[in-house]
Structure 1
Amino acid sequence: MKMPRRSIMVLAASGVACAAGRSWAGDPQSKPAVPPFDLPKLPWEPGDLAPVMSSRAVGLHYGKHHAGYLDNLNKLMPGSGFEGHTLEQIVRGTSGLADKTALFNNAAQGWNHAFFWQSLTPKGGGKPGLEVLEKVNESFGSLGEFRKAFLSASAGQFGSGWVWLVADKATKRLALMKTSNAETPIASVAFEPLAVLDVWEHAYYVDYENRRSEYAAAVLDHLLDWRFVEANLAHL
């Protein structure tokens, strides 16, 4: 029997508490296809995000952790019933199924990490374009209030997980969503994921040790790709 997952929380702005998502509007060449799953190409070089993220930190995160999830998933695929499915299809088809937990965790982590890399860009951060800025102001009050809410969510996510900027497909308002471990908004269909911050320790410990808040602020202020947010908003 399919059991609901309860580790997803939608914060300020939309006022609802369900989860969802769909595939992103990034470069199709970097979008995971069907098994066997290969590590998608980064949209920039590993050293391009320095000094916010060192090439060593990116290399370990991408080449060990992200790659490890896909390697594990490929080993789990034979006989799983999900041969020939995309990562997104596997995530949605296994979410909440106790006997498919390993498939879900590795597929979701593969998808989440690919989306995370697409959410970053060298010399990012700053102020978004007018259309996105209007959405931010409408949903959070101001860009400054959004920043406060984002950093609060990042600090408040207990243990491993993710902080997502999403759009409510029904109201068109933006919201922040916290998910634990491998949980992901694409497990359902009410929200459009726009960008994400990885707050697992492996995302920041090499450069920041236990200073997660410093890491979150640096990524938001200097690496967040507002153009990626804008492209994903275009799906609404």
Structure 2
Amino acid sequence: MKRVKQIQICTVNMAPALSCLGSRHKHSLPDLPYDYGALEPHISAEIMQLHHSKHHATYVNNLNIAEEKYLEVLTKGDVTAQVSLQPALRFNGGGHINHTIFWTNLSPSGGGEPQGELNEAIKRDFGSFEKMKEKLTSISVGVQGSGWGWLGFNKENGRLQLASCPNQDPLQGTTGLIPLLGIDVWEHAYYLQYKNVRPDYLKAIWNVINWENVAERYRAAKK
């Protein structure tokens, strides 16, 4: 898998800066670290292909378009146009951020339970891994409409927390939590395989969670 340069999306916090956009690079769709069919039978190849190459690609394309327009109106000092572009920047920027995390949170060799310090932190903050799993599943099932369930890290108190975000709102921009594990509960993430039974999808996805990636994010978040 080729490495994709990490580009700061300075627009999703609703306060874009000229210094950031003035030197922007075009965002690109990251390669998956596995084949589309690698997560079967838990997530079908058809879902993965459409989810990655169509849905995520659309967020990337629309984010590039919105940032180009924003830079244009920013240089003109058109405040009204700047404000009108904020929803597109937030939605598509959040979609790009969330999915980039989501792909790495999954693995064909995933599942089971986390190990080491992440496991200890989960036990400390939720009582047990099973209790955390049950709570995050419940939060994700309960998202009204489209959105995400998250396991995040609170930098201020050093604790793990669970949260949900509507639509494509980015966790850190919405709650301040550093994202560790995201579960996509937009219908495009599961409908072709699980129809309208979101709980079945959420039961299955735990079999492909990449706990090594989540643990790596946890170690980085603590620094």
- The equivalent of 2:183 in structure 1 is 197
**Cα pair 1:49 1:55 within 8 Å, conserved:** yes
TM-score normalised over the length of structure 2: 0.82
Q: Tell me whether 1:134 sits opposite 2:124 in the alignment.
A: no
Q: Tell me whether 1:230 sits opposite 2:220 in the alignment.
A: no
TM-score normalised over the length of structure 1: 0.77
Output one character per residue of 1:157-182: Cα deviation in whole Å (capped at 9) or x when no partner: 11100011101112221111100001
**Larger % of helix: which?**
2
- Matched AA of 2:3: Q
- Matched AA of 1:212: R
Quote how far apart the aligned CAs of 1:116 are. 0.6
Long gaps (5+) in structure 1: 1-26, 84-96
Hey, what's the Cα distance between the residues in 2 that align with 1:202 and 1:190?
26
User: Whose Rg is larger?
Assistant: 2
Quote how far apart the aligned CAs of 1:76 are. 2.0
Q: Tell me whether 1:105 sits opposite 2:91 in the alignment.
A: yes
Quote how far apart the aligned CAs of 1:201 are. 0.4
**1:142/1:28 CA distance change after superposition, 3 Å:** farther
- Matched AA of 1:148: E
- The equivalent of 2:171 in structure 1 is 185
Aligned-pair identity in percent equals 35
Residue 173 of structure 1 is aligned with which of 136, 142, 159? 159
**Number of paired residues?**
196
3-state DSSP of counterpart to 1:80 = helix
Hey, what's the Cα distance between the residues in 2 that align with 1:176 and 1:231?
18
**Cα pair 1:164 1:177 within 8 Å, conserved:** yes
Output one character per residue of 1:121-147: Cα deviation in whole Å (capped at 9) or x when no partner: 112121111211111110110111111
3-state DSSP of counterpart to 1:152 = helix
**C-alpha root-mean-square deviation of aligned residues, in Å?**
2.1
Work out which structure has the larger RCO, using CA pairs closer than 8 Å and 6 or more positions apart in sequence.
1
**1:79/1:155 CA distance change after superposition, 3 Å:** closer
3-state DSSP of counterpart to 2:148 = strand
- Matched AA of 2:216: A
Hey, what's the Cα distance between the residues in 2 that align with 1:134 and 1:72?
40
Hey, what's the Cα distance between the residues in 1 that align with 2:47 and 2:175?
33
3-state DSSP of counterpart to 1:63 = helix
- The equivalent of 1:59 in structure 2 is 49
Quote how far apart the aligned CAs of 1:30 are. 3.8
- The equivalent of 2:16 in structure 1 is none
Output one character per residue of 1:42-70: Cα deviation in whole Å (capped at 9) or x when no partner: 11111110111111110011111101111
Alignment of 1:1-236 (within 5 A): 29-30=3-4, 32-33=6-7, 35-81=25-71, 99-187=85-173, 190-220=176-206, 222-235=207-220, 236=222
Quote how far apart the aligned CAs of 1:191 are. 2.1
Quote how far apart the aligned CAs of 1:32 are. 4.0
- Matched AA of 2:26: P
**1:98/1:175 CA distance change after superposition, 3 Å:** farther
- Give the 4+ runs in structure 1 shifted more than 6 A: none
3-state DSSP of counterpart to 2:43 = coil
